[in-house]
Amino acid sequence: MAAAARPYWTGFLKLSLVTIAVRLYTATTVKERIRFHMIHEPTGERVRQQLVVPGTGPVERDEVVKGYEYEKGRYVTVEPDDLKRLKLETTDTIDITEFVDDVDPIYFDAPYYLVPDGSVAEEGYRVIREALRDTGKIAIGQVVVGGNERIVAIRPLDKGLLANSLRYEDEIRKPDEFFNSIAVDAVDEDERAMMEQIIKRKTRKFEPGKFVDHYQAAVRELIDEKLEGKLPDKAPDRKPAQVINLMDALKRSLAAEEKSGGAAPRRAASRAEPEPAAKKPAARSKKAATPSGQRSLLLPVEGGRVRAAQGKTGRAAPAEAPKRRKRA
């Protein structure tokens, strides 16, 4: 386990009369994601949020308390000590109340690694892990995490246990609100048979490592170009998808699968699959965009203050001379 990892929650895992000390660690991270800040463009300084009371002005954070609006514009305040008096058993204990065979994926929320807290707790922890593995069951309990009591589903994962917080039923929108207008008529048998062939050919073990976030990569490339003083190419014109016959699209898909030997194409054929368009030669321009009205948002690093241009800001980079084509 990484030394920097800190438990999100510490407490006990209780099953009947068995109680063992455990820790919860968040199983996901977003630290590699690109995050944007709000910048005041004239000065280059970051915009900061401020706590303000209408008619009073800025206030200090230690003057702010929690309050519940019981009538319009009227509040009852709740102090931290008031919340501490709400001593529920699930505040420091994951109380396993039942076991189930399966849970609908729509209820799954955040994942956590559940680990034993110390060598004394490990024996009972391993017994619970193996019992869940042998029976194929999912343990269901409740715990207060982050100021809310959540349902948790606990399953074996490698040498440990994975705990997923679950959403309550009243947090899930009813599917009928969205699917009522979809017809339930029988589909064409030939089209369904061909679709099943496509599904069979493209069925493989899920390997999350082969998927990448293309949007994040594109944003990183954009930032690198702006740091080099370049501006991105003009966004390509996107033609509307052409509606073609579903059977024709299915035949094309099967033909492509047979030709590629089952390799997954970049896009799956559908009713709205566009015809392949001829690629236009890319025309990357190295000129600054000031004449066209588009400004580079590359800001000076030193002090965040915008300094005088000194003959450099806004100067267009020399354009490359066009290469002459050789006559045939």
Which tens digits make up the pLDDT trace of 270-284? 344 444 444 444 444
Is-contact 251 194, C-beta < 8 A? yes
Is-contact 107 167, C-beta < 8 A? yes
Taking only the tens place, the pLDDT of each residue in 200-244 is: 998 999 898 888 888 888 888 888 888 888 765 666 666 665 656
Does residue 314 have a pLDDT over 50?
A: no
| CA 149/CA 145 separation, integer angstroms | 6
Taking only the tens place, the pLDDT of each residue in 316-325 is: 444 444 444 4
Taking only the tens place, the pLDDT of each residue in 36-63 is: 999 999 999 999 988 999 999 999 988 9
Which of 44, 48, 46 lies closest to 305 in space, CA to CA? 44
Which of 306, 245, 316 lies closest to 275 in space, CA to CA? 245
Does residue 291 have a pLDDT over 80?
A: no
Parallel, antiparallel, or unpaired: how do β-strands 52-53 and 45-46 relate?
unpaired
Q: What is the CA radius of gyration of the chain?
A: 29
Which residue(s) pair with 9 in the sheet?
24
Please state, as a whole number, how many other Cβ atoms lie within 10 Å of the Cβ of residue 176: 7
Residue 195 backbone zone (phi > 0: left; psi -120 to 50: alpha; other: beta) = alpha
Measure CA of the first residue to CA of the last residue in the chain; give whole Å: 65
The helix or strand, by DSSP H or E, that contains position 45, with its residue range, turns out to be: strand 45-46
Burial class (CB in 10 A: 0-12, 13-18, 19+), 13: buried
| CA 225/CA 231 separation, integer angstroms | 6
Least confident of 73-87, 147-161, 257-271, 314-328: 314-328
Residue 221 backbone zone (phi > 0: left; psi -120 to 50: alpha; other: beta) = alpha
Mean pLDDT within 298-305 = 43
Comparing 100 with 280, the larger pLDDT belongs to: 100
Which of 183, 179, 199 lies closest to 191 in space, CA to CA? 199
Please give, one letter per residue, the 3-state secondary structure of 144-194.
EECCEEEEEEEEEECCEEEEEEECCHHHCCCCHHHHCCCCCCCCCHHHHHH
Which residue(s) pair with 161 in the sheet?
114, 156
Parallel, antiparallel, or unpaired: how do β-strands 148-157 and 138-145 relate?
antiparallel
